[in-house]
Structure 1
Amino acid sequence: MSGANRHYVLAAGGTGGHLIPAFALATELERRGHHVALITDERGANIPGKPDFLPAHILPAGRFGKNPLNWIKGLRAIGQGRDMALRLFESFEPSAVVGFGGYPSLPALLASTSAAIPSVLHEQNAVLGRVNRFMAGRVEAIATAYPEIRRLKPKHAGKVHLVGNPVRGEVLQLREEPFPAFTEDGLLRVLVTGGSQGASVLSEIVPDGLAMLQPALRSRLQVTQQCRPEDLDAVRERYRNHDIPAELGTYFEDMAARLADAHLFIGRAGASTIAELTAVGRPAILIPLPIATDDHQAANAREMAKKGGARMIRQENFTAKELAKQIQAMAQNPQSLATAAHAAWNCGRPHAAKELADLVESFGGDTLMDVIRTTEPIRDIVGAPSGAAA
């Protein structure tokens, strides 16, 4: 196969967190003249944003819950998925397979490593996920979004390439746009989202927290908030009672445009959320999902919080009073908010898609390229206390 026109397979779990960076990489590889295919599950095949050129192959992928009785069924599904992936590889002849985590990526990676096809992992979070942890010893390279990754064994540190987390093109285009003007008497535009499914805790706390701001700030609020359908009416009533103008919806198709207009973000700390906030440079108040596996959302938030681009509030401490306190501290004057925005911007890794494509493209062609190796130590801190960031 010629170096100018190769085939690559991307394998990703069926959530936006895994698939958004996979779509971004697929777009970059296709732009370079390569053929790309996607392996995922039923959910992933229907996620909005999949490029038209990208064929999706749905493979069975077992899940392993706490009940051992389900493990046999899960192992059988993984075996079936692995066999189907091998048949796909025979006809597609990929130069490399890239796994983005999630159980649907496991059969493809088991197939690629057994067939001696070069394999790469991409980890979006600051904690190595279960599938990527399982496959770390079998792959050629591990691309990361953060300089420090928990649950990665030190013996695998030599495989690590810090590239960042690829984001959607329409978001990346906003990186060179200035932070929206925020003056002493201008509007303070706040964007609130709880991830793809919304978050009831934000619906319960945010309206009351905004209402507790000092009058000079509260009177300038303009809020956009994503809510769960079942929360919509109650949240609308709360904002009406507080006399705070708010646009509410269960899903906003033009989220990139809303992010461009926002002065402050309030929401969860998923990998894609952090990547987009830092790509654009938007200050944030982050409330990590407390049930996230290995507390990975708190780990995701730490770099941005440590550098001054965000405040992190643990959900058990997330009260209206605490939220108002943190907003007041960040937006007490126009310069403090702009400074936080710049700190967030400095955390961004805008070339993530290109650098991940460089790494992936190096298989099946020239020798492995040293694409931004991380210079910070990779520590295996399994079981270490999660700590807090402010």
Structure 2
Amino acid sequence: MNGSVVIAAGGTGGHISPGVALAEVLSEKANAFGFESVYIHSLVRNQNNPDLLQPPCEVLWHNIPQLGGIKTLIYPFLFLIPFLKTIIRFRKLKVNAVIGMGGYSSLPAILYAILFRKSLYLCEQNCVPGKITRVFSRFAKKIAFSFELAEEFHIPGKIIGNPIRKRVIPEHLNIRQNENLHEGKKNTINVLVLGGSQGARQLNQMILKAMENSEIASKYKFRLLTGTNLYDETKNKASNDAEIISYANDMKPNYEWANLVVARSGAGVIAECLVFGLPMILIPYPYAADNHQKANANFIEKEGAAVTIHSTSDDPTPLVKFLLTWKDHSEVLREMGHVSLALSNVNAAYQTVSYFFSESK
């Protein structure tokens, strides 16, 4: 195959991060996989996304409008001009293959592949496939899944794992940070709280309330990544014992510090926790599209790497219950960590690219 390949990775970080991971592999091995060049196709509003500030390949920016709201009726007209620009650019760059990472922002690249009969591949991060995957799966040559799909969906493809960026991958694949919990060599359990790049007020408030319990405060040390917008609010309400951080560009040190993670159940966060062998308390975002975070959390809980809290309030009662149970039974966290690591696939990016494009010999 000659020409170039485009990775359509816009929308949210959950689409961008695995797309960048694929771009890292393809940029290094483009010729081996039969391509001259590799590009990322992403929204203009993502120009400040940390993963796209120093991308592994050139980023082609576009401004396709988001579907929905009062613009629905005039959407085709708003879509047309940016789409025509995409066509002209892709033709000039000899784009012969498109990898769609999901989300509405991948639509122009996917339509280009279909209209001009180019090879189309899809990556689905969640247990509940997004609308893009459901609608365009029949046009795709191959589809790669991060996790097992919810039982009501029957889309042909291969379960590989969520592609992980190189800078997040741990140096050593083990669960060393939890081994000493079981052996009684560590008195404090480090809890990393992740609300996503925009933060999650519910998680922040739940943790702060849980810390009011003296038994929890004496056994657990909390590090809250609040999100930039919620940093001041959380900092002002926190006690001196909580470590409050607005945002971390380099997540590896935080994962290495942690013994336990409390987080939303986006596919990207889950995949990163898995490669570090971390047990999780997952609190799904209840308003996620198609309630896909609930399905993700339920799958990881069923496998034994996490417990879930399905709640829209900041009531700390279920969280406190888990933490008090594990306070004197940290071996449970150790075993959950074993399961977590077993579910991970640190080579998902390379394996996904290899699945899509058989490497030439």
What is the TM-score of this pair, normalised by structure 1?
0.83
Q: Identity of aligned pairs, percent?
A: 27
Deviation at 1:269, TM superposition (A): 0.6
Partner of 1:20 in structure 2? 17
Q: Note closer, same or farther for the CA distance 1:149–1:174 as it changes in structure 2 (3 Å cut).
A: farther
Tell me how far 1:323 sits from its aligned partner.
0.7
SS in 1 for 2:265: coil
Match of 1:46 in 2: 48
How big is the shift at 1:78?
A: 2.8
CA distance in 2 between counterparts of 1:332 and 1:74 reads 57
Range 198-207 or range 226-235, more displaced: 226-235
With 277-286 and 185-194 compared, the bigger mean Cα shift is at 185-194
How many angstroms does 1:211 deviate by?
Answer: 2.8
Q: 1:239 to 1:59 in 2, by over 3 A?
A: closer
Q: Which structure 2 residues correspond to residues 163-242 of structure 1 after superposition, within 5 A?
A: 163-174=160-171, 176-180=173-177, 181-182=180-181, 183=184, 186-212=187-213, 214=215, 217-229=216-228, 231-240=230-239
Correspondences of 1:335-346 after superposition (within 5 Å): 335-346=331-342
When structure 1 is superposed on structure 2, of 323-332 and 186-195 the one drifting more is: 323-332
Check if 1:276 corresponds to 2:278. Answer: no
1:295 aligns with 2:291: yes
Give me the whole-angstrom Cα distance separating, in 2, the residues matched to 1:266 and 1:335: 18
Aligned to 1:9, the other structure's residue is in SS state strand
Q: CA deviation at 1:265?
A: 0.6
Find the residue that maps to 1:85 and give its secondary structure: helix
1:218 aligned partner, one-letter code: A
Tell me how far apart the structure 2 counterparts of residues 65 and 220 of structure 1 sit (CA, whole Å).
47
Name the SS of the counterpart of 2:16 in structure 1: helix
Report matched runs for 1:301-320 at 5 Å: 301-316=297-312, 319-320=315-316
SS at match of 1:120: strand
- Cα distance 1:298–1:174, how it changes in 2: closer, same or farther (>3 A)? farther
Give the distance between the partners of 2:228 and 2:28, measured in 1 at CA: 38
Q: Displacement of 1:58 after TM fit?
A: 1.7
**Match status 1:57 vs 2:54:** no
| Alpha-carbon distance, 1:98 to partner | 0.3
Counterpart for residue 34 of structure 2: none
Distance 1:213 1:79, change over 3 A: farther
CA distance in 2, matches of 1:309, 1:95: 40
Answer whether contact 1:81 1:108 (CA < 8 A) is retained.
no
Q: Match of 1:343, as an amino acid?
A: V
**1:15 touches 1:47 (CA, 8 Å); kept in 2?**
no
Partner Cα separation in structure 1 for residue 279 and residue 172 of structure 2: 14
Amino acid at match of 1:32: K
Contact 2:9 2:100 in 1 (8 A): yes
Give the Cα–Cα distance (whole angstroms) in 2 for the partners of residues 271 and 166 of structure 1. Answer: 10
Aligned counterparts, 1:1-390, within 5 A: 7-34=4-31, 35-50=37-52, 51-67=54-70, 70-149=71-150, 152=153, 154=154, 157-158=155-156, 160-174=157-171, 176-180=173-177, 181-182=180-181, 183=184, 186-212=187-213, 214=215, 217-229=216-228, 231-240=230-239, 245-316=241-312, 319-362=315-358
Q: Mind listing any 5+ residue stretches in structure 2 that lack a counterpart?
A: 32-36
Distance 1:205 1:139 in 2: 42
Q: Is the 8 A contact 2:122 2:144 kept in 1?
A: yes
1: distance between equivalents of 2:357 and 2:212? 52
Tell me the equivalent position of 1:370. Answer: none
After superposition, what is the alpha-carbon deviation per residue over 1:271-324, rounded to whole angstroms, capped at 9, x for unaligned?
110110111110111110011011000111122111221110012365212111
CA contact (8 A) 2:197 2:228 kept: no
Helix, strand or coil: the match of 2:176?
coil
What does residue 373 of structure 1 align with?
A: none
Offset from partner CA, 1:210-261 (integer Å, 9 cap, x none): 33263xx531322110224564445335442xx6x22112112232111111
- Asked if the contact 1:164/1:352 (under 8 Å) is kept, the reply is yes
Q: Which moved more, 1:283-292 or 1:251-260?
A: 251-260
Cα distance change, pair 325–317 in 1 and its aligned pair in 2 (3 A) = farther
Counterpart contact for 2:175–2:341, Cα < 8 Å: no
- 1:174–1:260 CA contact under 8 A, matched in 2: no
Instruction: Assess, with a 3 A threshold, how the Cα gap between structure 1 residues 213 and 333 changes in structure 2: closer, same or farther.
Output: farther
Partner amino acid for 2:234?
A: V
Q: 1:282, 1:341 within 8 Å by CA — same for their partners in 2?
A: yes
Equivalents in 1 of 2:228, 2:118: separation in Å? 45
CA distance in 1 between counterparts of 2:74 and 2:191 reads 46
Cα drift, residue 65 of structure 1: 1.4
Question: Relative to structure 1, is the Cα distance of residues 150 and 107 closer, same or farther in structure 2, using a 3 angstrom cutoff?
Answer: farther
Residue 95 of structure 1 aligns to a residue in which SS? strand
The 8 Å contact of residues 124 and 146 in structure 2, kept in 1 or not, is answered as yes
Describe the SS at the equivalent of 1:211. Answer: coil
> 1:109 & 1:342 partners in 2: Cα distance?
39
**8 Å contact 1:78–1:106 — kept in the other structure?**
no
CA distance in 1, matches of 2:43, 2:335: 42
TM-score, normalised to structure 2, is 0.89
The CA deviation at 1:149 is 4.2
Cα 1:197–1:266 change in 2 (3 A) is same
What's the RMSD between the two structures over aligned residues? 2.3
